[in-house]
Amino acid sequence: MTVSRVTSVWVVVPTYDERENLGLIVPRIRAAVPEATILVVDDSSPDGTGELADELAMADAHVRVLHRAAKEGLARAYAAGFGVALDGGAEAIVQMDADGSHDPAALPSFIEALDAGADLVLGSRYVRGGRAVDWPLLRRLVSLGGNLYAQAILWLPYRDLTGGFKAWRAETLRAVDPATVTSTGYVFQIELTWRALRAGARIRELPITFVERRLGQSKMTGGIFFEAARQVVRLRLRRGAGPATIGR
Ligand SMILES: Nc1nc2c(ncn2[C@@H]2O[C@H](COP(=O)(O)OP(=O)(O)OP(=O)(O)O)[C@@H](O)[C@H]2O)c(=O)[nH]1
Ligand SMILES: [Mg+2]
């Protein structure tokens, strides 16, 4: 089996009202993976995150911004960002939150795992060495319950299915075709991993230390939660051909 090393890395960071966080996270990503392109995908945040992203992009050619007209949920924002990264020649695509919960220091280990043959890396709080810091008990329970639920219904052998800190080989991301996902909210993370496994991806979980956001507001809502509960069952019941298999 031959595995090509990834050289062009794009880090896609969706934002909605993350003005306080964006100026902190971008330099940390730059320091962790100096060659990478950072693509901020902003859904016209009322707090001016998009304008700040433009300023960062003006000052640094490694930073780019995709402005979207309206907030349509995380899945649409990521699908658009992934499309731009793939069209831009990305060989590896990282997805991560802007709120500081995902530590960019983990990025080199993600890229190494892709170089070593993984098609998809899942940053995981629930494998040995992984943890969640400062997380309120209720959030912990929702996360653990959501993972057990998704594992049981979809028979997915991974510990952290709900996380949003991942790295993809471009071929894998193309095969799962994010533009056609039926999820809108955070369950999209589960849907893409589910599709990746069905496409034959080699998936690795790597430990991360997840830190509760200190600034700004969570965008998690009851609607997003219930969509996740319904959508997992829908994925399980869906008939027909799976996604395209990965060309290697
Ligand atoms: N562009 C865009 N970004 C979004 C949208 N919803 C959430 N985000 C971003 O996606 C990332 C994750 O959202 P969070 O609100 O932190 O969700 P979470 O991590 O599940 O919740 P907390 O743990 O409470 O922070 C953040 O960078 C958000 O700004 C959206 O509709 N559009
Ligand atoms: Mg968060």
Among 44, 97, 213, residue to substitute to test ligand 1 (most atoms within 8 Å of Cβ): 97
Among 16, 208, 224, residue to substitute to test ligand 1 (most atoms within 8 Å of Cβ): 16
Report the predicted TM-score, pTM, of the whole model to 2 decimal places: 0.94
Please tell me the number of the ligand nearest to residue 65's CA: 1
Burial state string for 66-101 with b = 16 or more CB within 10 A and e = fewer than 16 = bebeebebbbbbbbbbbebbbeeebbbbbbbbbbbb
Q: Is the CB of 119 under 6 A from ligand 1?
A: no
Q: Is the CB of 152 under 6 A from ligand 1?
A: no
Q: Is the CB of 53 under 6 A from ligand 1?
A: no
Question: In Å, how far from its chain's centre is CA 26?
Answer: 16
- Ligand 1 atom with least separation from CA of 219: 15
Measure 90 CA to ligand 1 centroid, in angstroms.
23
| 21-to-46, 101, 119 alpha-carbon distances in Å | 15, 10, 29
Q: Is the CB of 213 under 6 A from ligand 1?
A: yes
What one-character-per-residue DSSP string does 166-186 give?
EEEEHHHHHHH-GGG----ST
d(C-alpha 132, C-alpha 178), whole Å: 27
Phi, psi of 203 (to 5 degrees): -110, 130
The per-residue pLDDT string of the chain (248 residues; one tens digit each, 9 = 90 and over) reads 556 788 899 999 999 999 999 999 999 999 999 999 999 999 999 999 999 999 999 999 999 999 999 999 999 999 999 999 999 999 999 999 999 999 999 999 999 999 999 999 999 999 999 999 999 999 899 999 999 999 999 999 999 999 999 999 999 999 999 999 989 888 999 999 999 999 999 999 999 999 999 898 888 788 888 999 999 999 998 855 456 677 66
Give residues with Cβ within 8 angstroms of 244, minimum separation 6: 175, 177, 199
Q: Is the CB of 15 under 6 A from ligand 1?
A: yes
Give residues with Cβ within 8 angstroms of 152, minimum separation 6: none
Question: In Å, how far from its chain's centre is CA 181?
Answer: 14
How does DSSP classify residue 104?
G
| Cβ atoms of residues 191 and 235 within 8 Å | yes
Please tell me the number of the ligand nearest to residue 15's CA: 1
Q: Whose CA is closest to 170, among 2, 1, 8?
A: 8
- Ligand 1 atom with least separation from CA of 17: 29
Q: Is the CB of 165 under 6 A from ligand 1?
A: no
